[in-house]
A and B are shown apart, each in its own frame.
Chain A
Amino acid sequence: MAEASTEYEHPLMKVYREQLNCGFPQVRDVFDDCMAEALSILSKEGVDAYLEAAGFLCRMGHGAEPVLAFLEKWPAVAEAVGEAALAPVMDGIRTMYKSPNGKAILPFLQTLAAAARRLRSAEQMQCYLDLILNFMARTTGSIHGIHQTFPSPGLPEFFRQIPLLLGQLSINGLKNWVEYGVRNYGDHPERQEDYFRLQSSDSRAVIQRERSGTLLIDHERKLDLYLRGLWRDSDHFVPYSLHFDILRKPVPYYDQLGIRLPDVYDDFAVPGSPLSISGLDRYRAVLAHIVGHKRWTTAVFADNLSPFQRMAVELLEDSRVEALAIREYPGLRRLFQALHPVPAESACDPKTASCLRHRLTMLSRAILDPAHSYKNPDIIEFAKRFHDLMAQGESGTQEMVDLAVAFGAKTRLQSDQLPNIHFPDTVVDYRDDNRQMWKFIEEGDEEEAFDQDRKVELTEELKGLPPRHYPEWDYTSQTYRPDWVSVYEALHPPGNAADIDRLLAKNDALAKRLKRLLDLLKPQDKVRIRYQEEGSELDLDVALRSLIDFKGGAMPDPRINMSHKTSGRDIAVMLLLDLSESLNEKVAGSEQTILELSQEAVSLLAWAIDQLGDPFAIGGFHSNTRHDVRYLHIKGYSEKWDDDVKGRLAAMDAQYSTRMGAAMRHAAHYLENQKADKKLMLILTDGEPADVDTKDGRTLIEDARRAVKELDTKGIYAYCINLDPKADEYVSDIFGKQYTVIDNIQRLPERLPELFMALTK
């Protein structure tokens, strides 16, 4: 190709080529085409800047790839966001060039055009560039904090995902998503790469949260109510994601496991009209269609029909169930009509493409929309035949088969077999895939057969319950990290119940004193309310006084009755124990550890609550990173204060760290389900929340504070009993005023039950 220079060359091109001054032969091959495009889009100054920038990329020392990408993509970018964007873009590239991130320049340039098409304006482009530079600066590693030496691991991956990301997120959403990744995986290269490659689950979850549109998850209840209210039906909704299957979008369907719906619907702008259909209404349309099938479709044999015939049958059956649904709720017609595509009659040329889908969609439209504009006599005839059938009643799936076969026979074209199928405007996206309307005579040659009889290998037997996931509050961004913490709940291993009885016996004197206090607290059934104008009984004292007033000519007090009201005690209690390693320390001036003293205190408290008859539960927790928070069940609400429970309490053991927020959320879901007027969660801890995987101590404190707020909205009163003398620094941040610090830990067994009684008096 070196001889290319000997060929004829336009003198102007030669000038430009010299201006570019780039020796890569690959560049020479495409230069003329790129230049032609650039000249048609860019201004004179723009072309100069274009060549200068390309010259820089050429001499940068990263091979021919970057300059090729730039020469090819830039004209399109300039068209989308204006040629003035070149200066900031080149500034960005220079910054990357000077940092260890030179490798990211190529993917950046390769995706620039796709990004520009989404961003559409110079301001947005500027935001995008700022975002990238910020991202780069924060993830580029350094040694000894002086020189930046390691390239950002996530950046190249990030550029590769950009077209997909910008397709789903606004620039702000993208910013939040990047922010999350940088913050949480900033110093973990492999994880960071996974995150920006969209491989990790929280990466997808955050996209989900940031993206626009109507999320199924937010509207599940409404849709359930819709099914129940309007259709007397109910089913599980199983979401599937549309984001990660680019080539073949999944379609709604239903089977015995539930109705599969996309996880999100954007509002649908009706073409050629200012109307738009909300995402919620799109879900409703899908459900109405599926319920129609459930109600009115009977499965028919597929074996005797060709694939084309089946397509026609499915389409007519879809139209039939919709017609019946509209008969039930006429307002659905508006919805279906808005969502159903309107294929233009002349859109498909039968000489060059297969028009089968186009023809069928036209028929479907003609059936749905009485005001259709189609002239094709076959379409009109079959729409009429369809309506005639429906006029006689509900018709049936078999009649639709006959009609579809007749339609197929009447309108068949040789060109239907062509591989080039006309697709535009033929996808009715609220319809399901109709898998339920077919049955097969011959079993075994269908795909499902391969799924059957799969043996489930029994793995290790489960000890305890499967994990529950809880979010954690991230105070720096004021957002939740979705499903961040895994809580494993298990029964606390048993110990010797007699130990607890011995502890109780040791505190016999204290118990006696408590008993007197408890008796005072015990609920009294009836309370007398005096001075009532209306009451159940005459209050004789007051009545006499009134009578005397009356006889004496003064105005008598009319409030001479009294009545009773019942006042019960209705408190459910949850006692949550911190079982972290620090409990093993010895209390100053004593031979006992904090754990032993806590054990004693908790036993007394449990005994006291049991005496009062309030329902209560006890749980302990410790954590070993966010993946392993353990919640140890000691006593449930339905269990009695018996030897089993005492045994578990006796075996109490302390290890690992304190991830308080997750434990509180988990305990709350038990307490929440208790039927009581007042719900109290007592948290007994000896230190601030902390865990080995969280460097910033503030995070877990803020998370616990958030958890307290959550409990509050659930009607649960959280109260902390803290054994850390230095607790004042953080405990009020978490619990507000709802805490006590017990300095003299040796008195804990006495103080704890007293505290409880004071709280619930």
Chain B
Amino acid sequence: MTDKDQYKVHNEPFYQVQSNEVALYQAAYAARLPVMVKGPTGCGKSRFIEYMAWKLDKPLITVACNEDMTASDLVGRYLLDANGTRWLDGPLTTAARIGAICYLDEIVEARQDTTVVIHPLTDHRRTLPLDKKGELLAAHPDFQLVISYNPGYQNLMKDLKQSTKQRFTAFEFDYPEAQLETAIVAKETGMDEAMTAKLVKIGTAARNLKGHGLDEGISTRLLVYAATLIKGGVTPRDACRMALVRPITDDADIRDTLDHAIDAVFA
């Protein structure tokens, strides 16, 4: 049997509650309803799930999805060894066996035929058929499936099927209000609020440009990076250029505008 404990979240992750999402999640977990978290990158989706796993004291298995991922990467496969073949559970199967929260990060990145394998786990059946092994795995009572999904890509090819979408309850995340975000960055990095407020201001300026050459605004995660650099002794202007502007764009016009915003904010 797999060691449950290695998947536990042992220390409390910092998560700033924004509204009633914790209570709602607890309710969903109580009923073992599958959960989908939506929102732009770096706004705290993964952190929230980690926090809830800690709060509920359940193991958490995270799978980062990518284009090359196949169904057997999730479910498991036969491997060759000296005596023939040996079955190895995939992360989804492991989670269903040990009763963990299985978190499929950025599910739309995976191919559509892959995502279909989660269907039987996400309705009343709560089973996972392992065709190749000839086993029908009934999910552990503690098992829950969570997926995250960033609707901002605006790509026809990368959208969830309705049949997948409609198996989940959903939370919509967005970047927090300026004040709250200031508090979050300050708490996460231990920087003073006046400086973090300036960082948040630059972040807001970039988010206003979304859709005008920027696919995504500056995320809270990048703001935290910038604050960390500043705390490490980098000058604020350089830190902002390095952590906030250069990563998100190659567009010279946008870079110029954001550089100007940095100059305008740090008088």
Contacts and interface: CB of A to CB of B under 8 A. Distances in A.
A229 B257 contact: yes
Nearest to B207: A229
A711 B58 CA distance: 58
A592 to B, nearest CB: 46
Contact of B267 (A281, A333, A536): A333
Contact of A330 (B206, B257, B264): B264
A331 B266 contact: yes
Nearest to A332: B264
Given A222-B256, A330-B265, A332-B264, A229 B208 contact: yes
Contact of B263 (A331, A556, A563): A331
A232 interface: yes
B70 A536 contact: yes
Contacts of B113: 536
A334 B267 contact: yes
A230 B264 CA distance: 9
Given A230-B261, A536-B71, A550-B80, A225 B267 contact: no
Interface residues on B, range: 20 to 34
Interface in B230-264: 253-254, 256-258, 260-261, 263-264
A531 to B, nearest CB: 15
B206 A229 contact: yes
B124 interface: no
Interface string A311-346: 000000000000000000111111000000000000
A228 B204 CA distance: 11
B264 A225 contact: no
A226 interface: yes
A563 B73 CA distance: 14
A550 B83 CA distance: 11
A233 to B, nearest CB: 9
B261 A556 contact: no
Interface in A155-198: none
A563 B208 CA distance: 42
A643 interface: no
A684 B264 CA distance: 55
Q: Quick one: which of B68, B208, B209 has the most chain A CB within 10 A?
A: B208
A534 B70 contact: yes
B205 A230 contact: yes
Contact of B209 (A225, A330, A556): A225
Contacts of B257: 222, 225-226, 229-230
Contacts of B70: 534-536, 563
A228 B208 contact: yes
Contacts of A534: 68, 70, 73
Contacts of B133: none
Given A222-B253, A225-B253, A229-B258, A331 B205 contact: no
Contact of B212 (A228, A281, A284): A228
Contacts of B206: 229
B120 interface: no
B213 interface: yes
Question: Could you say which of A222, A329, A563 has the most chain B C-beta atoms within 10 Å of its C-beta?
Answer: A329
Q: Which of A230, A332, A333 has the most CB of B within 10 A?
A: A230
A221 interface: yes
A226 B260 contact: yes
A257 B235 CA distance: 42
Contacts of A281: 260
B261 to A, nearest CB: 5
Most chain A CB inside 10 Å of its own CB: which residue of B253, B254, B261, B264: B264
Nearest to A220: B253
Interface in B36-93: 68, 70-71, 73, 80
Contacts of A330: 264-267
Given A330-B264, A334-B267, A550-B80, A229 B253 contact: no
B264 A329 contact: yes
A224 interface: yes
B197 to A, nearest CB: 12
A534 B111 CA distance: 14
B265 A225 contact: no
Contacts of B205: 229-230
A232 B208 contact: yes
B71 A224 contact: no
B257 to A, nearest CB: 4
A232 B210 CA distance: 11
Contacts of A331: 263-267
Contacts of B256: 222, 280
B255 to A, nearest CB: 10
Contacts of B265: 329-331
A334 B260 CA distance: 12
Interface in A458-513: none
B56 to A, nearest CB: 34
A412 to B, nearest CB: 36
A536 B253 CA distance: 43
A329 B201 CA distance: 9
A659 B80 CA distance: 69
Contacts of B208: 228-230, 232
Contacts of A535: 70
Interface in A190-232: 221-222, 224-226, 228-230, 232
B153 to A, nearest CB: 16
B212 A225 contact: yes
A232 B264 CA distance: 15
A679 to B, nearest CB: 19
Nearest to A288: B264
Contacts of A550: 80
A114 to B, nearest CB: 38
Nearest to A224: B212
A332 B266 CA distance: 10
Contacts of A536: 70-71, 113
Residue with the highest number of chain B CB atoms closer than 10 Å, among A226, A332, A534, A550: A226
Given A535-B70, A536-B70, A229 B267 contact: no
Nearest to A281: B260
Interface in A93-126: none
Contacts of A284: 260
A325 to B, nearest CB: 9
Contacts of B80: 550, 556
A232 B205 CA distance: 8
A536 B114 CA distance: 9
Contacts of A229: 205-206, 208-209, 257-258, 261
Contacts of B253: 221-222, 225
Interface in B90-123: 113
Contacts of A228: 208-209, 212
A46 to B, nearest CB: 52
A4 B166 CA distance: 109
Interface in A235-285: 280-281, 284
27 contacts: A221-B213, A221-B253, A222-B253, A222-B257, A224-B212, A225-B212, A225-B213, A225-B253, A226-B257, A226-B260, A228-B208, A229-B209, A230-B205, A230-B208, A230-B257, A230-B261, A232-B208, A280-B256, A284-B260, A330-B265, A331-B263, A331-B265, A331-B266, A332-B267, A334-B267, A536-B71, A536-B113
Given A232-B208, A329-B264, 18 more contacts: A221-B213, A221-B253, A222-B256, A225-B212, A226-B257, A229-B205, A229-B206, A229-B208, A229-B257, A229-B261, A230-B205, A230-B261, A281-B260, A331-B263, A331-B265, A333-B267, A334-B267, A536-B71
Which 9 pairs show the lowest CB-CB distances between chains A and B? A330-B267, A331-B264, A329-B264, A229-B205, A225-B257, A222-B253, A331-B267, A229-B209, A331-B263
Interface of B: 68, 70-71, 73, 80, 113, 205-206, 208-209, 212-213, 253-254, 256-258, 260-261, 263-267
